Amino acid sequence: MRHETATFGAGCFWGVEVTFRNTPGVIDAVAGYCGGATERPTYEEVCSDETGHAEVVQVTYDADRVGYDQLLNVFFASHDPTTRDRQGPDVGRQYRSVIFYHDDAQRQAAEAARARWDASGRFRRPIVTEISPAAPFWRAEEYHQRYLEKRGLASCHV
């Protein structure tokens, strides 16, 4: 088993966590914050839209069972990557569509996937997903972890 890490922001992390947790080959999916300047930000600070963080899910996966390209497909298929700083009713920079890459291979794969999905014709507008180097990941408060599962909604997909 080869454990690897991927980090995705696709709006509110509750649904994103469930989506990745339900993906075969994913070992764990943790809600948190990435891409901002504040150390150990709280949910309230991130929601202020002043820290620069995005709500993200850090995915630990078995690379022998699921590839990074497959995770990228789950990412692009599970949200609207054409809306800047917004997913559904959630508005603000913390809800941006973003891929935080952990190495150059992930960066290249993310750029190729974004171009492929943009050219696919699935979306009527251009994809605005950011691709950025992984920044410190801050685990969200415990009440955010497995939030939908705790409410009996863990089998839903976003």
12 is catalytic: yes
Q: What is the C-alpha separation between 59 and 32, in angstroms, rounded?
A: 11
Per-residue three-class SS string for 113-157: HHHHHHHCCCCCCCCCCEEEECCCEEECCHHHCCHHHHCCCCCCC
C-alpha pair distances (Å), 58 with each of 11, 104, 111, 118, 135? 13, 18, 19, 24, 12
Strands of the chain (E only): list them.
Answer: 3-10, 26-34, 54-62, 86-87, 90-91, 97-101, 130-133, 137-139
- Burial group, residue 40, by CB count within 10 angstroms (0-12, 13-18, 19+): exposed
The alpha carbons of the chain give a radius of gyration, in whole angstroms, of 14
* 12, 34, 47, 156: the active-site residue: 12
Active site residues: 12
